[in-house]
Structure 1
Amino acid sequence: MGYPRKLTRRFRAFDNFAISFTIINIISGIFSAFGFGMEAGGPRILIFGWIGVSVMVLFVGAAMGEIASAYPTSGALYFSAGKLAKRHRGAWSWYTGWLNFVGQVGGTAATGYAAATFIQAFIAMQWPSYEVTAQRTVLITAVILLIQALANTYTVQLVALVNRISVWWLLIGMVVIVVALTVVPDHHQPASFMTHFVNNTGFSNGIYAAMLGLLVTSWTFTGFDGSFHMSEETVKATVNTPKGIMRAIACSAGAGLILMLALVYAIRDYAATASSAAPPVQILIDGLGVGTAKLLLLIVIGAMLFCGLANMTSNTRQIFAFSRDGAMPGSRWWHSVSLRTRTPVKAVWLAAACPLVLIIPAWWSHTAFTAIVSVNVVGLYLAYGVPIFLRLRLNDFEPGPWNLGRYGKLVAGVAVTWIVISSVLFMLPQVSPITSTTFNYAPIALGVVLLIATVWWFATARRRFQGPVSYGSPDEVAAMDLI
């Protein structure tokens, strides 16, 4: 790909799958956004929306996998955008990289914030006198980010080991939760309950509310570009990277549907559950009792912490690669690699600091979580969409060993269509009436990043950044290999 090697190839096929599966993280995604889905569409959207969005995401993953097979680098999306563009390669690469960056930051922030929320729910269950506050949620999130940054500063073997553990934590944890919710409760909803529709968003239009409810599934299915970002550290990356993406999406789709059905049918009092501080926790308490609920809540919190760690790992590699090509402020800092651990340590701490800035509005905003989720979904999916769109326009695309053959353009077309629809949807207001505390500030956060990127591009970057840097021919790069 034109780069001297700085990162070691120690990720096996399972490790590559594990990082995307961990970031998608069905337990974290479903438990953190389930309450929003109960108000925006209810069971009908939670279940059928999951199925529909899962299918669309498989199209996106397949289109991305084909590109990943052709360009297996840490730069991933922005690198491939620069290579696939017919003209203005630097600009396409620049904006893709910044969209990917803000989406990754949003994912790390949202996962940490969700973990902090559930940690407080557990503390309140254990010690009823504990007062849950938005300020404490922000502070706990900051501690979580600190711990995850420390874990990421050590060797890539440690990260790979943790991700392997997280896969089994997720699968076994999901089975335990589903079995408990199926066997223990003495009351379940009737089969027809899956068609029950609810609109408590404040908007009178039911279709609009139902579309908002798709956020639950879309938020869960983000971050599978993690496999792409880890390709420089994956053996046989041209095959194992796209397989990692597709396996992570497919396994998450099937397992997530089972978990979603178990939660929906275990709801006892819909109105009371929906209005509780953490609806999934209330479902566990109503069906299983406080003691069992606390034990299962530990599984959920563990899944969220694993998810945040993998998110930060992926974000770090994107920062490392983008800085390697001189596309970020202080690039010389962020692409340096520790000689002891062979990891981009400085990029790790930037990947921890930026999410902390993003969650600061949660100190006073009641809708901060859904706004952060929207930043995550929109930023990432637009970054996914750019190289897929460019591949769609390219008639002489040279695929890698893993490819879609004659169906490549059809799959890419479906993927781009879904990305456009979902991106527009999640920039819109999510709660009515719209006030300073319910306002969806995702467009502002995304707009600020794009404005800075645009000003910087026209001021200086367009004259020095022409897209991914090539250090020379394969033989020349091999001669300067750093490992």
Structure 2
Amino acid sequence: MSVSRTTEGHSDDEALLAELGYKQELNRTWSGFSNFAISFSIISILAGCFTTFGQAWNNGGPIAISIGWPLISAFILVIGLCMSELVSAYPTSGGIYWWAAKLGGAKAGYYTGWLNLIGLLAVDASVAYGAATFFDLSFSTMSESWAAGYSLSRVFWMFLVVLVLTALVNIFGGHLLAMLNNISVWWHVVGAAVVIAILVFLPEKHMSIADVFSMRVNNSGGLAGGETSGWGFWFYVLPLGFLLTQYTITGYDASAHLSEETQGAADGAAKGIWRSIFYSAIGGWFLLLAFLFAVQDADAVTAGGGGVAVIFTQALSSTWAGTVLLIASIGQFFCTTACMTSTSRMLFAFSRDGAVPGASLWARLNSRKVPANAVLVSSVIAAIITIPALVEVNIGTEDAPIIVPTAFYAVVSVAVIGLYIAFAIPIWLRWRAGDAFRQGRWNLGTKWRWMAPLAVAEIAIVSVYFILPFTPAANPLNDSFEWKFVNYAPILTGGTLLALWIGWHLSAKKWFTGPKTTVDLPAGMSGADEIALEHHGKSAHGGSEHDWKPGDPTS
């Protein structure tokens, strides 16, 4: 059926949103660049590249970084391109959940929404904790007295301060949020460039090209017998190191969650997703190569748990090392702010459709048209799930301790698993819909035929890896097993899936019907009719002038 793109008193964006069943409640003041900026800020190469570098160094070493990063980035770009096509067709704050519900029904939307929400809450927690850790490292590098007073409790208190500050910015920032994200883009670009320049010109020597692209490390505490060759290393230890890339380049669904606040969302939000991935992948690779080339003593980095702070203090004076860490810390604060924005919008949209306990509270907007309650509850949950980070974990010995934030990496795994499974569901449903899916203004033409199944396969594989033990002591069948070593990602993820399954069959399937409309749709329009709206663009057979073209970063 046909529906006009414009109605009296409405912009094209508002008319499109109305056709999807919603009235304009949030302020649509974000430009296409601001939409790109929030995803770019959440990906944040100044966050993930710093905070999870040790995961890659300990599980694979330099090859997990120099070769693993571009390899995994290519797969993630395919995932992002598939999501760009979906957001162009359905530019709503519900994003991933909304797509799944429309393509697969209420049950698909229910599971997708909860997985997406859990992933976003874990991202809030992990990024805020990472920011606190790096602020602490910055101060410790610059001050011996501060370094002497280090404790996990101090870092946790700093983590809570970061959460409070980012919550306040989100609640009272209003239009300032979009401006902060624009500033964040340039902080990340210029900041990363400054860090790279420092690491290129100031160290006395640099690691050889051969070592950067071939050195292998197994500092996992004994996985695969501690070997750096053989099946165990290549197919267990090394893939665990890919968590660096998979975690860093995530959160780009923010462009979808902010689509109801973006001008020209059908085009701008789609480009915001894939461009944020594309440019982050390039910038992150150069940044990580700078880290590797700056290594002065690889054995000392391994002994130090693979942390970037060890590299910086090896290669630089305390002042310059502290400067690098502080640049990253501020970038991570920007990242946390953007993460909180994305999470609150997703919670707002999911609650608007009645899918969350206390939905009326989280769907309520304040006078600035900000879901303030959603921001507050997101902050509280992020704090609660990070409490295990107070437990100190040493995978070394008493004489040669290697302290690693196992709880932090577990939260990271939860974020990756939750988000990426949520991404996989609508991508799979779109592939299953085939040519019946009506493409939006920005689309893949016919490339979805191979991109969608490839994206789903990659997500399935990494989700299995990231619930595996990070060290033998985390395996209940191992004699050295201790609960403090456990990667609790499978416990939290599995427990959540079980709870969702029980909740769906005992209750939710009786009342949850998927996205609810807040405007009156034309008579006879619902479900599949909404998917087939003419203004979404040409069908998969015909493509459009906005088709993505390989090798064209401006398309």
- TM-score, normalised to structure 2, is 0.83
The corresponding residue for 1:175 is: 193
The corresponding residue for 1:165 is: 183
The corresponding residue for 1:251 is: 279
Once the two structures are superposed, the pairs formed by residues 196-215 of structure 1 within 5 Å of their partners are 196-201=215-220, 202-204=222-224, 205-207=232-234, 208-215=236-243
Q: Distance in 2 between matches of 1:461 and 1:321?
A: 17
- Give 1:143 deviation, angstroms: 1.2
Larger Rg: 2
**Is contact 2:55-2:306 (8 Å) kept?**
no
- Give 1:184 deviation, angstroms: 1.2
Residue identity opposite 2:368 in structure 1: T
The corresponding residue for 1:440 is: 487
Residue identity opposite 1:265 in structure 2: F
The corresponding residue for 1:139 is: 157
Once the two structures are superposed, the pairs formed by residues 290-305 of structure 1 within 5 Å of their partners are 290-305=318-333
Residue identity opposite 2:433 in structure 1: L
SS at match of 1:27: coil
1:341 aligns with 2:368: yes
SS at match of 1:437: helix
1:413 aligns with 2:453: yes
1:90 aligns with 2:129: no
- Give 1:394 deviation, angstroms: 0.6
Select the residue among 382, 385, 393 that pairs with 2:421: 382
**Is contact 2:138-2:323 (8 Å) kept?**
no
1:356 aligns with 2:386: no
The corresponding residue for 2:94 is: 75
- Give 1:140 deviation, angstroms: 1.4
SS at match of 2:163: helix
- Give 1:278 deviation, angstroms: 7.0
The corresponding residue for 1:128 is: 144
- Give 1:365 deviation, angstroms: 5.2
Q: 169-178 or 453-462: which moved more?
A: 453-462
Q: Which has the higher contact order (CA 8 A, sep 6+)?
A: 1
Q: Distance in 2 between matches of 1:114 and 1:182?
A: 25
Once the two structures are superposed, the pairs formed by residues 137-286 of structure 1 within 5 Å of their partners are 137-193=155-211, 194-201=213-220, 202-204=222-224, 205-207=232-234, 208-276=236-304, 279-286=307-314
Q: Distance in 1 between matches of 2:287 and 2:139?
A: 24
- Give 1:43 deviation, angstroms: 0.6
- Give 1:280 deviation, angstroms: 1.2
Select the residue among 511, 529, 549 that pairs with 1:464: 511
**Is contact 2:28-2:263 (8 Å) kept?**
yes
**Is contact 1:33-1:216 (8 Å) kept?**
yes
Residue identity opposite 2:454 in structure 1: V
- Give 1:293 deviation, angstroms: 1.1
1:111 aligns with 2:127: yes
Residue identity opposite 1:108 in structure 2: D
Q: 163-172 or 359-368: which moved more?
A: 359-368
The corresponding residue for 1:480 is: none
- Give 1:210 deviation, angstroms: 0.5
Task: Return the structure number with greater helix share.
Answer: 1
The corresponding residue for 1:479 is: none
- Give 1:98 deviation, angstroms: 0.4
- Give 1:454 deviation, angstroms: 2.3
- Give 1:456 deviation, angstroms: 2.2
Q: Distance in 1 between matches of 2:471 and 2:328?
A: 27
Q: Distance in 2 between matches of 1:242 and 1:351?
A: 26
SS at match of 2:447: helix
Q: Distance in 2 between matches of 1:464 and 1:416?
A: 30
Q: Distance in 2 between matches of 1:326 and 1:234?
A: 24
The corresponding residue for 2:34 is: 15
Q: Distance in 2 between matches of 1:155 and 1:43?
A: 41
1:126-167 CA-to-partner distances (Å, cap 9, x unmatched) read 332332222222221111111110100024311101101110
SS at match of 1:111: helix
Distance 1:383 1:470, change over 3 A: same
- Give 1:436 deviation, angstroms: 1.1
Q: Distance in 2 between matches of 1:220 and 1:421?
A: 17
**Is contact 1:10-1:156 (8 Å) kept?**
no
Residue identity opposite 1:402 in structure 2: W
- Give 1:120 deviation, angstroms: 1.7
The corresponding residue for 1:481 is: none
**Is contact 2:103-2:429 (8 Å) kept?**
yes
The count of residues paired between Structure 1 and Structure 2 equals 472
**Is contact 1:121-1:278 (8 Å) kept?**
no
- Give 1:471 deviation, angstroms: 3.2
1:35 aligns with 2:54: yes
The corresponding residue for 2:531 is: none
SS at match of 2:383: helix
- Give 1:65 deviation, angstroms: 0.5
Q: Distance in 1 between matches of 2:215 and 2:179?
A: 42
The corresponding residue for 2:438 is: 398
Q: Distance in 1 between matches of 2:154 and 2:262?
A: 39
- TM-score, normalised to structure 1, is 0.95
1:390-440 CA-to-partner distances (Å, cap 9, x unmatched) read 111113101101000111121111111111011111111112222211110
SS at match of 2:172: coil
The corresponding residue for 2:74 is: 55
SS at match of 1:419: helix
Select the residue among 334, 340, 343 that pairs with 1:312: 340
SS at match of 1:150: helix
**Is contact 1:365-1:438 (8 Å) kept?**
no
**Is contact 2:171-2:372 (8 Å) kept?**
yes
- Give 1:452 deviation, angstroms: 2.6
**Is contact 1:7-1:233 (8 Å) kept?**
yes
Q: Distance in 2 between matches of 1:183 and 1:5?
A: 52
SS at match of 1:156: coil
The corresponding residue for 1:424 is: 464
Q: Distance in 2 between matches of 1:454 and 1:148?
A: 33
Q: Distance in 2 between matches of 1:448 and 1:382?
A: 15
